[in-house]
A and B are shown apart, each in its own frame.
Chain A
Amino acid sequence: MAERAVRRSGSILHESFLRHARWRWARIASIVAGIAILIYLIDDPKPRPEGDTVYGYTLGTIGALLILWLTALGIRKRRMSPGRWSLKAWVSAHVWLGLALLVIATLHTGFHFGWNVHTLAYVLMLGVIASGLFGVVAYATLPASLSENRGELTETQMLEALRAIDRQIHEAAQPLSGIPAALVRAALDEDVFARGLLRRLRGTNLHGPTAVARAGIESADRSAPREAIHRLQALLGEKQALLAQVSRHLRIRALLEVWLYVHVPLTVALLAALAAHIVSVFFYW
């Protein structure tokens, strides 16, 4: 899953955030979770394990503080390198301690759920952790496919290439009229960037206007100038390939970002539910 650290002449060029400092945070998180489970198994509160026991309150306090710290990543990543920790160390700790939170909060519930604000907070936390896991997998696997798909092109160059092809198509299509002209018009209007979330996630559109124009332009009007038609076919083919590449690029970019649209709002909702949970417990003490 994690990108392998590439060693070249003895120095580490890249180490993924998951493996940061030889899995330091993975180890710390496992130890924390292990201890929490062990105490849970040894502790025998009556009538049953719950948030309302000594250990339950302890886990609840740890969990709440952990949530606040995990949320602080949103602040940390907007600031340039303050303090001793690199952003990678923060992300590494964020991911692994976030997973440990799953254990801590679950034990805090004592597996006691209901239709109430307490379980709401827990479910929101599960949503945050699940979306976070998606993000971890995305960050660990997708950048490789992103650069593979992109080849030597930068995003700016992709845009330039699209412009250049569109100009050429436009110019080549000047002698056309009727249906062939309309087909080219539609192909020129095809805009991969205008697609919404779902279509971006779906990726390449094999039946888009450019593909349709390329396939239909020759047979649409036999009287159209042949030379222009043939040139256009070649150009439309080029545009089709470029669109496919850009679509894949956009799809991977979307996958890298979409989880944050769940992760961030749910985190904020979780903070609100957590506040309500804590206030309610002490309000009806």
Chain B
Amino acid sequence: MFVIRALSTSATGREIVRERRVDSVRITVGRGPTNDIVLSDMDVTLQHAVIHKTAAHRVTIQALAGTPFIVDGRSTNSASIDASIGAEVRIAGFRLVFTADGEDDVVVSVERYGLLAPSAEKRDERQLYSLSGVMPSKRWFAWATMVAVLILFLAWPIWSFHHRPTKLTPEQMASVHHRGDQSWSAGPLSKAHANLQGNCTACHVKAFVSVRDESCRTCHAQVHDHADPARLRAAMAPKGLGGKLQLAVANMLNRPQGRCIDCHIEHQGDTMPPTPQHFCADCHGDLKQKLTDTALPNVSDFASDHPEFKPAVLFRAGKDPLYQRMSLDQVPVQQTGLKYPHDLHLSATNAVARMAQDLGQADRAKGLACASCHVADGGGFRPITMEKNCQSCHSLAFTRENGAVRTMRHGDVAEAMAQLRDYYASHAAAAPQGFGLGRRRPGDFAAASLATAYGQSAGGRAERAIRAVFSPGGACYDCHVVTSPSQPGALDFGIAPVTIPDHYFTKGWFDHRAHAATRCEECHSARTSNDAHDVLIPRIAECRTCHSGEHPTRKAPVASNCAMCHAYHNQSRAVGAVARREGN
């Protein structure tokens, strides 16, 4: 017989046991109310299983609807059970425990252990409604990201720094090292330093020590100071409380003043920005107060506080030339050794213009242009030479003989005199033939002047010819400054050195290329100059029509700080000029 024992728990937690006997060898299990064992769970079918008693304490259990159950942990559709040993059968949320009782009875203890729905579960409400129940903890997220950031962006760079290669070949330096400290870079280096991009420690040598000049000097060995270091220090002394405070803070933070990188600021992209003006103006703005013995004027800004230009003009030419910087206010004159009126040569209507037109050097109705002689070369111009720039009009041919043209040697006074002597020694004629009396032609200048002068001179034929070319109206005299003979009647005429200046500025530079869109006469008053001594560079006011100081204005939109025209390290004008011409 079967004893069915139903176990349940009251609301207060007390266990309730209800027991009944079924006098049958066959009992049914299911959700349907007609079953001997009713399991009210939606996972149980209406007729779920049947249990047969086969012998004393022995039963078989069989699924009716094909829904398996679990016997001692194994899923099955039928099983044989020895109640004296005992067994546990699970059907959905119920547990059926088989035990033996007395000689023959089989006891089936039925107990619900599962819940009828998830909602019946006792759950922590705070967790249930909050996201914390379904999300990984914020703390875990936080720790993970923090550790990741600290490893990647702090530990790795520091490790990198301490494991840097101690010595690098130039090739190694040029190859980019993808090292941990790359993430610390504040920005790309300038093109000139691009090969150091992956090599932070080339400049940042010691931890927590700012970049020092020694690092720069590793490569830039030739750079010299701007001035005597003692005078530099005196000039740099900060003025005012703010400046002193800033200096004190900088010193406290181990950032000494006057380092290369104060002016040469890196990590600003491809092009290193021009040195900020205040690096100059901080000292030069009130230099006279700081260095009372200085000859330099105070300068703080091109637009508002800059003296008139002081070109270096040649006072005395020769072996030991003497230059003097003079303000344009003083209307300086430049020794050139030439008699060259710009106005005459630039006229569009005079004989020069007509000659240029005839020779095809100028368009119709136009005279020579500046560029006819001044050929641009880099930021400046090619030197003016007789051969390239003068001779096509100012010919030194003085006679034609059997179809051959004889030309006086240029640039060698003795040789030119010898030529004339030779000519007259071998010719009985009283005057050069072929040119002198004939119609004048462009290019016949020397012959014509020689013929004219020859008639007016005294002495031997050759002497008269020589005297003629060195006298007013003569081929040499009309262009060159002629030095008189050592004594009256002597023939040791001389030609003063030709000193056409290549540049006037010794403390700054000017690049004509940047001004290619501007017509020459906008700055140079050559068209009205009738004297080769005129210094034809424009005054500062002329520049200021376009160039402002550090801050552009609407009228003068070109911001121009000190470094646009002045160099800090290179005191020699030539170096600056060459650098500019090379486009550096």
Interface of A with B (CB < 8 Å)?
46-48, 51-52, 54, 112, 114-118, 120, 155-156, 159, 162-163, 166-167, 169-171, 173-175, 177, 181, 184-185, 188-189, 191, 193-197, 200, 249-250, 253-254, 257-258, 260-261, 264-269, 271-273, 275-276, 279-280, 282-285
The answer to whether A117 and B187 touch across the interface, beta carbons within 8 angstroms, is no
Known contacts being A268-B146, A276-B153, A276-B154, is A194 close to B118, with CB within 8 Å?
A: yes
A-B contact count (CB 8 A): 172
Residues of B within 8 A of A269 (CB): 142, 145-146, 148-149
The answer to whether B154 and A47 touch across the interface, beta carbons within 8 angstroms, is no
The answer to whether A254 and B118 touch across the interface, beta carbons within 8 angstroms, is no
Main secondary structure of the interface of A (DSSP, over half): helix
Known contacts being A174-B40, A272-B145, A282-B208, is A52 close to B186, with CB within 8 Å?
A: yes
A230–B561 Cα gap in the complex (Å)? 92
Residues of B within 8 A of A200 (CB): 131, 134
The answer to whether B278 and A46 touch across the interface, beta carbons within 8 angstroms, is yes
Count of chain B residues with Cβ under 8 Å from any Cβ of A? 65
Residues of A within 8 A of B40 (CB): 170-171, 174
Interface flag for B327 (CB, 8 Å): no
Q: Whose C-beta in chain A lies nearest to the C-beta of B41?
A: A170
Query: B183: which of A52, A116, A169, A249 is its contact (CB, 8 Å)?
Result: A116
Question: Could you show 7 A-B contacts with beta carbons less than 8 Å apart?
Answer: A114-B185, A174-B40, A184-B42, A272-B147, A272-B149, A276-B153, A283-B208
The answer to whether A156 and B125 touch across the interface, beta carbons within 8 angstroms, is yes
A177–B35 Cα gap in the complex (Å)? 14
A275–B184 Cα gap in the complex (Å)? 12
The answer to whether A163 and B120 touch across the interface, beta carbons within 8 angstroms, is yes
A205 → chain B closest CB, angstroms: 15
The answer to whether A188 and B42 touch across the interface, beta carbons within 8 angstroms, is yes
The answer to whether B120 and A279 touch across the interface, beta carbons within 8 angstroms, is no
The answer to whether B116 and A253 touch across the interface, beta carbons within 8 angstroms, is no
Interface flag for B130 (CB, 8 Å): yes
| Highest count of chain B CB atoms <10 Å: which of A195, A257, A268, A275 | A268
What mask results when residues 198 to 211 of chain B are scored 1 for a CB within 8 Å of chain A, else 0? 00100010011111
Residues of A within 8 A of B208 (CB): 282-283, 285
The answer to whether A273 and B161 touch across the interface, beta carbons within 8 angstroms, is no
Known contacts being A159-B125, A162-B119, A191-B119, is A280 close to B142, with CB within 8 Å?
A: no
Residues of B within 8 A of A260 (CB): 138
Query: A47: which of B42, B149, B253, B268 is its contact (CB, 8 Å)?
Result: B268
The answer to whether B131 and A254 touch across the interface, beta carbons within 8 angstroms, is yes
Q: Which of B95-103, B269-277, B331-339, B449-457 has 4 or more CB atoms under 8 Å from chain A? A: B269-277
Residues of A within 8 A of B133 (CB): 193
B145 → chain A closest CB, angstroms: 4
B183 → chain A closest CB, angstroms: 5
- Using a CB-CB cutoff of 8 Å, which residues 415-462 of chain B contact chain A? none
The answer to whether A265 and B131 touch across the interface, beta carbons within 8 angstroms, is no
A196–B128 Cα gap in the complex (Å)? 12
